[in-house]
Amino acid sequence: MILFDDTWWLPSGETHLQQWMKAANHRVDGRLTYQRNKYDAALGYCESRRTAIVAGAHVGLFSYWMAAVFAVLHAFEPHHDHRFCWEANMRRRRKNAHLYAVALGASQDAVALETGPASSGDTYVVPKERVNGHGLIPMMRLDDYHLRDVDFIKVD
């Protein structure tokens, strides 16, 4: 885990986000942002701010801002390193934010993940046989959580 720009914890080896955020150089409350214009545009369609969901929460680059404006945030992130960074990045916003260590999918199952070498955002499901049953991550259906009053869902 590395501390980038004294504000964001990122997985070791992550260079894509650092380059992208430095080049964009857009800050909110002193923190560099990632694709903030897309988030702001989507949020503009959201009339209520009760419950938000992030499917693929990664390291919390969107969760951080969402927890500030929604009453409750439910974040789903299957990758261990990303969850570790999410927890570190969300320390100040943790009261109303809940993190689940699962992947979301069409059925209950287990999945295996691989991540690109320089971009932790390049994480994807691979055949379970590649890991021979070791390191499998639970996959759940979002409906299994019976969340109520959901006003915003970010899926990545």
Q: So what's the pLDDT on residue 92? A: 76
17, 34 in Cβ contact below 8 A?
Answer: yes
| pTM for the full predicted model | 0.91
Low-confidence ranges of the chain (pLDDT < 50): none
Q: So what's the pLDDT on residue 71? A: 96
Q: So what's the pLDDT on residue 84? A: 95
